[in-house]
Amino acid sequence: LLVRRFGASTLILGKEDIQGPFASIRPLLHVDEVYSTGAVAFRESQAMPRARAAFSGRQVGICDPSLLSSDAPPLIEGTFVPGDAPAGAQFRATIRNSGESASVTIDIDGSSKAALVLADAWYPGWKAAVDGVETPLFPVDILFRGIEIGEGAKQVVFQYRPLSLKIGAGITIGAAIVVFWAIFGLLVQRFRARRDPWRTPA
């Protein structure tokens, strides 16, 4: 279930994994390649896309792992509940590969009102904007990031901007200003001492 919802098409397990915690789902996995170390790569043909639309969902106050199910709508934590997909609705999300781990840009084509689910880890500090307008995030299936998108939405941008980063930047700028003025004051004092070498410092 996790592999499918994470949008991962391949799962690599060692012998201990196959004989241990993953033993019960072994019949569901399709062997893709066996390595000389004993590790096995399994191909998951039912993996969901990394970015996808949820047109239906189960609203919960706090996500409960026992409610997760492979054949049930996703758990959506918060107040937003998507409606049913309109007849003939089509959705395509294209993730731009920017190479940045702190930013994800998704281009949307043919969207209706839905919850856009990004199969990346939910973590405080992530912000999101739909077509340039900041929009609240909410957890989906406990682990993933969700955001409401309206009809006609074209682009969603996720950025990691935690409060700690802003505080750290403020402290750094403040410290730089203090150091600058200290150096400036020292230079002024030396300049004055050179112009008036007989002047006794206060």
Q: Is the pLDDT of residue 49 over 60?
A: yes
pLDDT at 126: 92
Residue 83 Rama label (left phi>0; alpha psi -120 to 50; beta)? beta
- The model's pTM: 0.66
Three-state DSSP string of 83-141: CCCCCCCCCEEEEECCCCCCEEEEEEECCCCEEEEEEEECCCCEEEEECCEECCEEEEC
Beta bridge partners of 147: 116, 137
Q: Is the pLDDT of residue 169 over 80?
A: no
Q: What is the pLDDT of residues 66-87, one digit of tens each?
A: 887 777 788 888 777 766 666 6
SS3 17: helix
